[in-house]
Amino acid sequence: MLGSRSGNVNARSRDGDKAMRLAFVALGLLLAGVAIGLHWVPWSDDTVRQAIVQESVAAYLATGQTCPCPYSLNGTGRRCMGQSEYGRTRATLVCYPEDVTDAMVRRWRDIPR
pLDDT tens, residue order, the chain (113 aa): 555 555 555 555 566 677 667 666 665 655 655 555 555 668 899 999 999 999 999 999 999 989 999 999 998 999 999 889 987 865 688 999 999 999 999 999 998 86
Identify the DSSP state of 84: S
Domain ranges of the chain: 1-39, 45-110
- The strand pairing partners of 79, in sequence order, are 73
Q: What is the pLDDT of residue 19?
A: 67
Core vs surface per residue 8-20: b (16+ CB within 10 A) or e: eeeeeeeeeeeee
Identify the DSSP state of 72: S
- The strand pairing partners of 73, in sequence order, are 79
Model pTM above 0.85: no
User: How far apart are alpha carbons 98 and 53 in whole angstroms?
Assistant: 10
Q: What is the pLDDT of residue 8?
A: 55
Q: What is the pLDDT of residue 38?
A: 57
